[in-house]
Chains A and B, each alone.
Chain A
Amino acid sequence: MSAAPSAAGRFGSYGGRYVPETLIAAHEELAEAYARITPTAEFQRELGDLLRHYAGRPTALFHARRISEELGGARVYLKREDLAHTGAHKINNVLGQCLLAHKMGKRRIIAETGAGQHGVATATACALFGLECEIYMGAEDVERQALNVFRMELLGATVRPVTSGSRTLKDAINEAMRDWVTHVRTTYYCIGSVMGGHPYPTLVRDFQRVIGLEARRQLQEAEGRLPDVLVACVGGGSNAMGLFHPFLDDPGVRMIGVEPAGEGIGSGRHGAVLCAGVPGILHGQKTLVLADDDGQIFPAHSISAGLDYPGVGPEHAFLRDSGRAEYVAVTDEAALDAFVWLSRMEGIIPALETAHAVAYVRELAPTLGRDQIVLVNLSGRGDKDAPTVREILKQRAGRADG
């Protein structure tokens, strides 16, 4: 199971390299550079130093006793990716890719961003390496995430608002790909999740595996054994892949990815691609997508901009079909409740993306015995979401008063 992908970048029938001809050579160059440069002792040492001294790894594994007690079932552990530099797991991938780009001699980095977390992480790494940085962001997200736009600019990046299509994450990816097609010889495209044409899904997963490798070791130290269940939220799916992958060959470890059900899967306004999507081709990969029967992609919906994507990394589609991982979905409402709940119970404000995983643990843990261990990827911190949540809570209070 952990041996995928094939040489052609296939995870079962998913993955591959569905890109315009102009970008084929760039993908080949990247695959070659990745295979040649990243295994070297020098690269591993440099990346290890950065993760440790710059990003603040290893991140803590925290036994969340209060929520465990309240739920009355399994012991819940939180892998604290929210404590990594820039406040989320995104930095792991970005440091790896920017170090690689630097060694490939690329001087200009482009990236897409939804809520702005990957954009901020990329801008951060570019500042560190002295690389030119441009971030594509849907015009709608630029308005909603003004603070992250300012952070990126503060870090020296140029933010390009994207006004085409639905003006959100998928359109930002389209525009980043168009930039890359145009400046392919000098530019490195730093994709933010386990998606895109081969080798991106593999490369990003491998840079995120540090999450699962650390968690495995830390839980061994704390409990002397492996977890029973892993839980992580899935948008593109990088924090989940990073946690799951080092456990794929341990059949006793269940893995559950939590998708955004938005206003409910039945409403049509959701981002639950693994639960309700169809096979399709989007952004360089064959995977599951939200599309109509003419093949037109339709916009996803989620309260969390980071999960608001109508596709998903191809390895998740493969893990779903094979039954190795399970995928469930949680509504905006439940995620919001979990956001508040975790803040009050453990003093940890999770990102709205992460709150989806927490919301599912509230359902799951009580069904499991006290001897069971659930390990949740606490993929990011929620400061960025405070304004959104404040607005919604105000509206809710207003409705209750009315």
Chain B
Amino acid sequence: MSRIEACLTALRRRGETALIPFISAGDPDLGVTEALLPALAAAGADVIEIGVPFSDPVAEGPTIQRASERALRAGTTLRRVLELVKTLRPKLDVPLVLMGYGNSFLTMGGVRFAEAAREAGVDGVITVDCPLEEEPEYYEALAACDVDAILLAAPTTSEKRLATLAQNTRGFLYYVSLTGVTGARAELPPEIEENVARIRALSDVPVCVGFGISTPEQAARIGKFADGVVVGSALVERIERAASREAAVTDAADFVAALKAPLRPARGTGVP
């Protein structure tokens, strides 16, 4: 069982929902990322998504676009992100997931990237614009290296495709809550619960929900039926607005703690 699966299974057993914060690697530089990862883990992050910046991130809203631009200006590359993970891995138990675009990972070469990810201690990879059927060798290489290839499902995904995605994803299925790009939203679509139920009917793979979730209240609402909740832009905004590099780390950790609080089981109601 992979580290991600083990983590989500243990939480599910306790009646607890995973909090999965997203940060953009190298925003504003890799030094801050190096400080953020342990701080977020200590604040309650169960899995951390590390965005690998790309010049043309078509699925991102303005917040993460700006973070990617800052990271690229600071000289962040995939190789340097992998080195950072490798450095931190011995000190961190939290599962780490790289999220990025096909051109970043496949320019290195699918097999080489999979091997480098394993060597660095990356637990999972999300390739936003690379469907499973387009790159079978890449996905096979990730599987061979025991790196979980986490697939995305969307509100527009057909029933037939949903079954394929649920069957082939590793670690968890990432359910995109809305039709749109990443970014904090005041309102989330009401049909998320129903759509997650559709996935539950097809498979018992853990389902984590992301896109738009930006407050502890929203996280709590989604956490009632999802195995995990991903919060990206709202966290990246706090890092962006922080008065200093140190404040970026403490503000982000405080926010993660606030997001995680309602996701823990209330005392005495935990499933035995």
In contact, A17 and B161 (Cβ under 8 angstroms): no
Our pick among B102, B105, B154 for the contact of A21 (Cβ within 8 Å) is B154
Our pick among A17, A26, A177, A296 for the contact of B58 (Cβ within 8 Å) is A177
Q: How far is the CA of A185 from the CA of B155 in the complex (A)?
A: 11
In contact, B156 and A25 (Cβ under 8 angstroms): yes
A298 interface residue per 8 A CB criterion: yes
Q: Which residues of A contact B102 (CB under 8 A)?
A: 18, 281
Q: How far is the CA of A286 from the CA of B107 in the complex (A)?
A: 11
B42 interface residue per 8 A CB criterion: no
Name the residue of chain A whose CB is nearest to the CB of B128. Answer: A20
A103 interface residue per 8 A CB criterion: no
A400 interface residue per 8 A CB criterion: no
Q: How far is the CA of A284 from the CA of B78 in the complex (A)?
A: 21
B56 interface residue per 8 A CB criterion: yes
Q: How far is the CA of A23 from the CA of B179 in the complex (A)?
A: 9
Q: Which residues of B contact A20 (CB under 8 A)?
A: 58-59, 128-129, 152, 154
Give the number of residues in B that approach A within 8 Å (Cβ atoms): 43
Q: How far is the CB of A273 from chain B (nearest CB, A)?
A: 14
Which residues in chain B, 85-103, are within 8 Å of chain A measured between CB atoms? Answer: 101-103
Q: Which residues of B contact A184 (CB under 8 A)?
A: 156, 179
In contact, A18 and B131 (Cβ under 8 angstroms): yes
Which residues in chain B, 141-163, are within 8 Å of chain A measured between CB atoms? Answer: 151-158, 161
Q: Which residues of A contact B103 (CB under 8 A)?
A: 280-282, 289, 291, 295, 297
In contact, B55 and A21 (Cβ under 8 angstroms): no
In contact, A182 and B180 (Cβ under 8 angstroms): yes
Q: Which residues of B contact A283 (CB under 8 A)?
A: 56, 58
Q: How far is the CB of A198 from chain B (nearest CB, A)?
A: 10
A369 interface residue per 8 A CB criterion: no
In contact, B129 and A298 (Cβ under 8 angstroms): no
8 contacts between A and B (CB under 8 A): A25-B157, A174-B56, A178-B181, A184-B156, A185-B179, A278-B107, A281-B130, A283-B58
| New A-B pairs, 15, CB < 8 Å, besides A181-B59, A282-B103 | A18-B130, A20-B129, A22-B59, A23-B156, A24-B131, A165-B55, A165-B56, A174-B56, A178-B181, A183-B179, A281-B101, A281-B102, A283-B56, A295-B105, A296-B72
